[in-house]
Every structure is written in C-alpha cells, then in structure tokens.
Structure 1
C-alpha cells in the first residue's frame, strides 16, 4: 500500500513540461454541488455531464442535510461501486473528517477504509479546534491512519472555523510534518479569509493535490450565518463573481484536478440538480479555456 501511495503522489508532481504549458485540468464533481443526489445518482450525473471524478460525502456535516451512509450500508456501497464501474467515473476524494475538541480520530477509520475501497485518492478534513497542539496531533494521527490506505489528508480552512485561513492551515502542516498531508484550497474560503496569493505561491508544491473551484460575490459577508449560507447554498460559476479565480489557480500546481463545489440551491430547484452540475462544468470550462 505504501508503495502504491508513493506512486500516486509521484504521478501528480509536475515535471518540466508542465511548467512550460498549462495542461487541460481533470474535473471532479464535489458532492455539495448536488447533495440531493445519492452517490450512485451523483456518479450518473457526473458521467452524463462529462466529469472525470466525483467527491463523495460519507459523513453528515449538518443535522438537516441528506446523509448517505456508505460506510455502514453494504447495499449502497455495492450499488455505488457498480455505477463507478459502469460509467468509468472515478472517486477523487471523500469527506468529511471534521475533527473538533470532542471527536476521536479513530472514529473516522471506517470512512478512510471505504474511501480507499472506492479508489479515492484524498480525504478532506477540517479542524474546528481552538487548541493548536491538539488539532495538530489529531491531524497527524489522521495522516498516519490514512497513509497505509494510499490516501492524502487535505486540510480545508473555512473562514468561520478555528483554522480559518491559509496561514493557520500551513502552521498545522508544518507542525504535523507528515508526507501525505495536504492543503485543500477552496476558492470561496480562500477569498473569504483574505488569504494571500503571494503566500500561496511560497508554499511547497506537494502540499496541493486538488482544488475546490467556484466563484462568489466580491463582498465578504459580515456574519457567520451569511458566510455559511453562501458556502452551502448560493455559490456562483467561475466568472460570475468577484473572486480572482484565475489568479488563485495560477498560484497552484498546474496539473491538479479541479473539483467543482458550486451548490446553487435556487438554480437546482429551477432546472434540476443534474442540469445544474452540467451547467457548472460548461461555464467553468468556458471561463478557464486557454486564452489566445
């Protein structure tokens, strides 16, 4: 397994050719973009729209959101595997290992195991914990659990949590010092936290395995509730808002996949979840197409 993990990581390291020409990115469909769809339905929607990967949410983040217990439902797990095999869509990541003061890291072992069983490369984590030493120790332990399964652990930094920006996430990675550790740059969280593109450019390239891509209005909401509402329900397609989408992505390695996390509840009600994610991919490809 360890050798397999190292092979995976090597395939994502940009070589000289990647620095000279911008490759065409692979696209993944993050589950939050269409959380009303079960994992098999999400895979079918991704295949129909032209995504190469999906990200699957294995844990419930809020009490009122849909929950698809892949880690505890063998029938749903078999159906999900069958859809993956039938469509050729892969699993890029699983989420969410959200570890605060009350959570135990080993409680997420089954999530990691199912992610590896589905062929995922990464597991997303958040650290809403005010104790720097404890959250670093928990992050390191999660990395150690994930490593034999061939998974990287990618730390996301929503601006309303106790790990609220790129600088805070960087401190955790440096202190944990694990080879399979990573930072997940979500463009919304990056912009809302006023993180620095210059700082992003200075960080180790092998910390970045994929990115969450979206847009949003330039105005940063003043309340936590507003921040969360935009993040979970009303993001925009790239080019529709005020985030420096191209600038942030240009500071990341050029060959990482782009996971579209663009929940648009109002649009999905109007046109359906499947059409909403199709429009998201079309708009993103158009916006990020190479300029002549």
Structure 2
C-alpha cells in the first residue's frame, strides 16, 4: 500500500446507524454515489448520517474517461477528512465504484482504489463487464478476485442490459465459471432487473453467498429501450421507488430479507429543488416500504 494510505487511521464505530428507531435500523441502508453525486466523500458521509443511513457508496473511479466522480485517490487530505467524518458519524463506506472488465483489463490498474478501500474499510467494489469475449471476461474476473483478496473486499459483478453481462443468468454463469471465488459477488440493481430479461426465478437462483447488497430505485420497466435511453435513465433520470412500475415488491421479496440496501436514485430535474440531505432523506423514505417487512 502507498504510504499515505497505509498510515491512515481506520474509523472507529463505523457501520453503526446514526439515528432512528430500532425498526428503522433493522435493515442496513447505504447512500449510493448517484444519490449523493453532488457531494465530496466526507460530505456524502455527513449527509448520510443526517438522513439516517449506516453507509455510503463512493465513486472514486469514473465509469468512463472524464465522467463525473468523487475525488479522493491521490489526495491524502481528502482521505483524512473522509476518515474523520466516518469517526465523527459512525457511517461506514459500503462500496466503491467502479472497475470495468474490458478486453485490455489489467487488475493492477486499480491499485489505488484497492488501497483506498482498505483504508476506508469498504466492503465491496462494484464491477462492470464490458468484454464481449465471455471466456476472457470470466478469466479476468477470476484474476480480479484474486488480486482484491488481500484488501478484504468483495468484487460484485453488476449485470446491466447494455453490457456484456446483460442479465442475472449471465452474471451467475460468469461467476460460477470463474470458480466462484470466496470474494465473488453479484449485484442486483432494481433498474437493471426491470429492464433486462431477468426473472424473479433468476434472482432466487443466485446463491446467498454471492449476494452482499442490492440497489433500489424505480423506472418504467421493459426491454424495448435503446442503449442510449437505458444509460440516460441509469445516470440521470431514475425514479423514486413507487413512482415507476418495476416490480420492486416482488424483487425484494425474492432477495434475502437481511440484505443491505444501496439507495440509488439520481434524478437531475427533481434534485434541483432539494438539498443533498433532503434528497437523501426523500430517497430513503420512499425505499423503506419495499424492503422492510
């Protein structure tokens, strides 16, 4: 690990919700990057604490060159401030974004992300599959899991209908063909469930050991959208749970009842009238009825 990361102090009491009733704390919630994209990493943690989340997700690596992200890698002062926010609030970091498995994949490229995850005591890194050669993608996923093993995080492969891992069946096949490493995982995003060929039976077929968290939002369901439309919704115009027609109740009934929930609702237009803390609280309140049972 690099010197400025290996000497950082871990947060004390992280992963403990900051408020709310006992029933509200029964389900673990994480404030996803897309729900707090206006915030720096320490700001996101403080917003999460104010709104009643136990964790945050941070996008420390952009999903495309020049795309939006939160800046922390290579900035030791931001890491120190983020760790201080964790200690002050008890809010932990659940997942980091994002690693993309493409034809030129080199697991060492993300060394700084692994080190940041270890320093922040993150639990997972979100992984996307972009290589149309499934055999190579599978081999590279296995390599990634091996490289990440010393850092104590899972590599959670997210299926997205416009990628080389378009549905839950493909994600499960890749993970199983990779040998199902101990730190392997599959990430279920409600949006991609609703816009792919994935069925509730496909969700139930995912072994519990591969499920570490799931993401919630809403949208208009269906498989007739163009790639551009799907990406636009995913990155700019998700709906609050209950405002679309994805079968959220069916989905979260099919998933384990104790699975941590990442609340991932980005909607540029609706967010204009709310502060980051107000939006985070609104998203959490809309999510709870579908997952607390």
Instruction: Check whether TM > 0.5.
Output: yes
Could you give the per-residue CA deviations for residues 220-240 of structure 1, whole angstroms, max 9, x where no partner exists? 452111101111111111111
Distance in 2, Cα, partners of 1:270 & 1:211: 27
Q: Does the CA contact (< 8 Å) of 2:249 and 2:290 recur in 1?
A: no
Q: Does the CA contact (< 8 Å) of 1:216 and 1:235 recur in 2?
A: yes
Mapped pair 1:229 → 2:232: yes
Distance in 2, Cα, partners of 1:129 & 1:72: 28
| Partner of residue 114, structure 1 | 116
| Partner of residue 215, structure 2 | 212
Q: Does the CA contact (< 8 Å) of 2:157 and 2:186 recur in 1?
A: yes
What is the SS of the residue equivalent to 1:102?
coil
Mapped pair 1:128 → 2:141: no
Mapped pair 1:61 → 2:57: no
| Partner of residue 22, structure 2 | none
Structure 2: segments with no counterpart, 5+ residues:
1-24
- How many residues align? The count is 268
Mapped pair 1:166 → 2:160: no
What is the SS of the residue equivalent to 1:67?
coil
Q: Does the CA contact (< 8 Å) of 1:201 and 1:252 recur in 2?
A: yes
Q: Does the CA contact (< 8 Å) of 1:268 and 1:275 recur in 2?
A: no
Q: CA deviation at 1:106?
A: 1.3
Aligned alpha-carbon RMSD (Å): 1.5
- Provide closer, same or farther for how the CA distance between residues 221 and 229 of structure 1 changes in structure 2, counting only shifts above 3 A: farther
Mapped pair 1:281 → 2:284: yes
* Relative contact order higher in (CA < 8 Å, ≥ 6 apart): 1
Q: CA deviation at 1:289?
A: 4.2
Distance in 2, Cα, partners of 1:271 & 1:93: 25
TM-score (norm: length of structure 2): 0.87
| Partner of residue 7, structure 2 | none
Structure 1: segments with no counterpart, 5+ residues:
1-22
| Partner of residue 270, structure 2 | 267
Q: Which of 236, 240, 245 pairs up with 2:243?
A: 240
Query: Higher mean Cα deviation, 152-161 or 67-76?
Result: 67-76
Mapped pair 1:148 → 2:158: no
Q: CA deviation at 1:203?
A: 2.5
Could you give the per-residue CA deviations for residues 132-167 of structure 1, whole angstroms, max 9, x where no partner exists? 111111111110111121111100011111111111
What is the SS of the residue equivalent to 1:271?
coil
What is the SS of the residue equivalent to 1:255?
coil
Distance in 1, Cα, partners of 2:75 & 2:171: 33
Q: CA deviation at 1:58?
A: 1.0
Distance in 2, Cα, partners of 1:226 & 1:275: 27
Q: CA deviation at 1:71?
A: 2.1
Q: Which of 206, 220, 230 pairs up with 1:203?
A: 206
Q: Which of 180, 184, 190 pairs up with 2:183?
A: 180
Q: CA deviation at 1:202?
A: 2.1
| Partner of residue 42, structure 2 | 40
| Partner of residue 26, structure 1 | 28
What is the SS of the residue equivalent to 2:96?
strand
